[in-house]
Amino acid sequence: MSESQELALENRQSESSRRRKTFLDRVSRTLFVQGWYAFVLSFFVFFVLVPTLFVLSFLFTGWGDLQAFVFRNANVMAQILSAIGLSFSVALTVTAVDLIFGLPLAWFIVRRQFPGKSVLNTLVDSPLAVPTAGLGFSAALFWALNPAVKPQGLSLNFTNTPFVLIMLLHFTTTFPYMVRSMSAILEQIDIEYEIAARTLGASPLTASRTVTLPLFRSGIATGSILCLAKALSDTGGVQAALQTANLFAIQANSCSFTGTPSGTVLIGAWRTLGKACPAVTSQLNAGLAFVAILMIALSIGLLYAVKFMALKVRFPLKHVWPGIERKLSRGTAPRGRDLASFAFLVLMILIPSFFLVSFLITGTKTLGSPDWGTFGSSLGFSFLVAGLATLIDLMFGVPLALYITRGPSRRFGSLLDSLVNIPYIVPSAALGFSLFLFWKPLVDAGALPILAVIVLAHVGFTIPFVVRNTVGALEEMDPGLDETSRTLGARPLQAFRRITLPVIKPAILAGSIMAFTRSVGETGATLAVSPQAITAPVFIVNLLNVKTGNFYLAGLSVGILTLVSAGAMMSMRYFTRRAR
């Protein structure tokens, strides 16, 4: 290389270094940092939080319609109360059963070392790979509720009540959340405390009950909240199960439906009827608003009550019964407990979740005239919505997590941390209708395409995954690392890129993949925002119409979606291991 070329190269490097330094100086200024955080907070408030709760304004703007269609109509009020009662009774029952069988299984996974532990972890997580509409379809096929399908599962008679069917379905959707959340928190509890109690003469049951379990209340609270939120939010799985079992059907031509739906399914049914029957749209919107308001208020109140009970209330655990607890710590009692947990996992979770495979092999292969073009476009639309929503989640979720954990006010950060949970615990169908009301004026004016509204709806219930995972990683990270790099002259952006990001990257990747798969499998929010939008889960639910549907084609569609979701989950684990 000639001297002139070397000089030119040095000049380019010097210019590049100068530009980089200028850029870092500008973005490191206090005014810029404060402005960026203000922009992130404004996005969260005005594009996530306010639209999520906007339906509450209907109490003031639509009070006349509420009085005419809801409060003065005994049949409508009875229908609403029945649907909401069904949702909450099922959610509470499922959460209690999940806790009874999930706690021993989580304890076994964390406290035992055995061959095939990774296989067991994969089996526990495997139902998460199946879209909720597919889980509802598969569970209904397994319990053999529709004689037209004739699957080889168990034949149970649920008569006219869908309570047991919905409960059996929710086991498949909530149990992995309970086990996984409790396992993650149990791993952080030092076993040395329990060992010390054992060396002082305490039995295994006494040590775990009086030492570990009080430290484990946050894990119980987290698992219970996740299960309640998931059970209350599910729309596609419940509607798919009810339609497959011939317990629910929408008659758009008569502006009515048959069957007893849950709260979220009722929202979806009324949204569909409102689109097909313009003459009663205003009345249905009043009913929708009232259902959404009740579900939002009751969900937030119930879930925070569960959190308060689990974290604040002290249970009488200090008293011990040495003789009885020593007997229960040995022999058949612990083996029976573990066997019951494994039997519940296999019989109530795994087999119903994947019975669809048996149906595809042995069922009547009637494809009819499959509209693969519509399915392909719906799948592409699902990926487009999920990809855009996940990108927005990353753009605003990671800075929001940084502000919560590294912000100037710990009290405000704690408040913001609680507010982030609201879009997650609000049932997705209610959230979708609230977003529809918020964005409807812009959609009607043509100022905002329906794709943007659907993406924003999906951002509302997926951004907590990114924020929660990132906040957890940041709280586990030693803040001294970041402070040390700053004292050595690193700019805030440099410290984040070189110190913080490599540490929290696995959590960011995990949250983004969870957000993506959650968005791909969502049905309720999509139907609430736009009943005419056809995503892959909506396409599957439409195929499950008892009179005109095609069960085998629906099964194939679920299989394709499951493979895609499973690939996403495996990618999450692969990239997470590489990041570590």
Q: Residue-wise over 373-397: b if at least 16 C-beta within 10 A, else e?
A: eebeebbebbbebbebbbebbbebb
Q: Is the pLDDT confidence value at 577 over 70?
A: no
Model-wide pTM > 0.85: no
User: Per-residue pLDDT averaged across 337-364, rounded?
Assistant: 85
Pick the CATH number of 31-61+364-580 from 3.40.50.2000, 3.30.70.250, 1.10.3720.10, 1.10.10.10: 1.10.3720.10
pLDDT in tens, 290-310: 888 888 888 888 777 776 776
From the number of C-beta atoms within 10 Å of its C-beta (0-12, 13-18, 19+), residue 285 rates as buried
Query: How many alpha carbons fall within 13 Å on the CB side of residue 375?
Result: 17
Tokens of 346: 């296999």
Residue 551 to residue 553: CA distance in whole angstroms: 6
Residue in the structure block whose two tokens are 């061959």: 115
List CB contacts of 310: < 8 A, sequence separation 6 or more: 217, 218, 220, 221, 224
Q: Does residue 483 or residue 399 have the better pLDDT?
A: 399
Q: What is d(CA 360, CA 165) in angstroms, rounded to the nearest whole number?
A: 22
State pLDDT tens for residues 43-79: 999 988 998 888 888 888 888 888 888 888 888 898 8
User: pLDDT digit string (tens) for 459-489?
Assistant: 988 898 888 778 877 776 666 556 655 565 5
CB 431 within 8 A of CB 460: yes
Q: Say which residue the tokens 């030492």 belong to.
A: 211
151-165, 241-255, 267-281, 354-368: least confidently modelled range = 151-165
Distance in angstroms (rounded) separating the CA atoms of residues 340 and 102: 10
Q: Which pLDDT band, with edges at 50, 70 and 90, does 342 fall under?
A: very high
Distances in Å between the Cα of 257 and the Cα atoms of 21, 119, 263 are 65, 44, 14
- CB burial string 533-555: b at 16+ within 10 A, e below: bbbbbbbbbbbbebeebbbbbbb
Q: Which amino acid is at 445?
A: A
Task: Give tens-digit pLDDT for 509-549.
Answer: 878 877 887 888 777 778 777 777 888 888 887 777 645 55
pLDDT reading at 425 higher than 80: no
User: Taking the domains of the chain in order of start, what are their residue ranges?
Assistant: 31-61+364-580, 74-315+341-361
What is the structure's pLDDT at 156?
Answer: 45
Q: Check: CB of residue 96 under 8 Å from CB of residue 307.
A: no
Mean pLDDT (the chain) is 77
Q: Per the structure block, which two tokens stand in for 28?
A: 């490191």
Q: Which pair of structure tokens corresponds to residue 224?
A: 């219970």
C-alpha to C-alpha distances, 368 to 371, 374, 554, nearest whole angstrom = 9, 15, 12
Pairing assessment for the beta strands 256-259 and 248-251 based on DSSP bridges:
antiparallel
- Output the pLDDT for position 158: 45
Q: Name the helix (H) or strand (E) containing 71.
A: none
Give the pLDDT of residue 534. Answer: 83
Give dist(CA 181, CA 124) in Å, integer: 12
Which amino acid is located at 35 in the chain?
A: G
CA proximity to 181, closest of 221, 130, 132, 232: 221
What 3-state class would DSSP assign to 17? Answer: helix
Name the more confident of 228 and 572. Answer: 228
Distance linking the first and last C-alpha atoms of the chain: 41
Residue 573: pLDDT band (50, 70, 90) is: low
3-state secondary structure of 133: helix
Q: Look-up: residue for tokens 């639509």?
A: 62
What is the predicted pLDDT for the residue at 151?
41
Mean pLDDT of 403-416: 81
Question: What local confidence, expressed as pLDDT, does residue 343 receive?
Answer: 94
Q: Is the pLDDT of residue 505 over 90?
A: no
pLDDT at 346: 93
Contact 261, 237 (CB under 8 A): no
26-45 tens-digit pLDDT: 555 667 677 888 898 999 99
Is the Cβ–Cβ distance between 55 and 433 less than 8 Å?
yes
Count of helix runs (H) and strand runs (E) in the chain: 29, 2
Supply the DSSP symbol for 280: G
C-beta separation of 261 from 242 below 8 A: yes
d(CA 304, CA 301): 5
Q: Which two tokens stand for residue 74?
A: 């005994």
Question: How far apart are alpha carbons 91 and 97 in whole angstroms?
Answer: 10
Would you say residue 152 has pLDDT above 80? no
Q: How far apart are alpha carbons 568 and 162 in whole angstroms?
A: 32
| CA Rg value for the chain | 26
Question: How many beta carbons lie within 10 A of that of residue 529, not counting itself?
Answer: 27
Please enumerate in sequence order all residues whose Cβ is within 8 A of that of 153, keeping only pairs 6 or more positions apart, or say none: 141, 142, 143, 144, 355
Q: In whole angstroms, how far apart are CA 33 and each of 173, 186, 306, 463, 548?
A: 41, 37, 37, 22, 57
CATH topology of domain 74-315+341-361: MetI-like fold (1.10.3720)
- Determine which helix (DSSP H) or strand (DSSP E) holds 257, and give its type and residue range: strand 256-259
According to DSSP, the residues that pair with 249 across neighbouring strands are 258
> Is residue 176 a contact partner of residue 143, using CB atoms and an 8 Å limit?
no
Please, which pLDDT band fits residue 393 given cuts at 50, 70 and 90? very high
- What pairs with residue 248 in β-bridges? 259
Letter string b/e over residues 22-33, b meaning 16 or more CB atoms within 10 A of that residue's CB: eeeeeeeeeeee
Q: What is the pLDDT of residues 195-251, one digit of tens each?
A: 676 676 666 666 666 666 776 776 677 778 778 888 888 877 788 778 777 778 777
Work out the average pLDDT over 361-379.
70
Mean pLDDT over residues 101-127, rounded? 84
Residues 6 or more apart in contact with residue 150 via CB below 8 angstroms: 144, 363, 364
* Per-residue pLDDT, 144: 61
The answer to which of 25-29, 166-170, 435-439, 456-460 has the lowest mean pLDDT is 25-29
Residue 328 has what pLDDT?
Answer: 65
User: d(Cα 67, Cα 45) in Å, to the nearest integer?
Assistant: 30
From the CB of residue 366, how many other CB atoms can be counted at a distance below 10 Å?
9
pLDDT of residue 154: 39
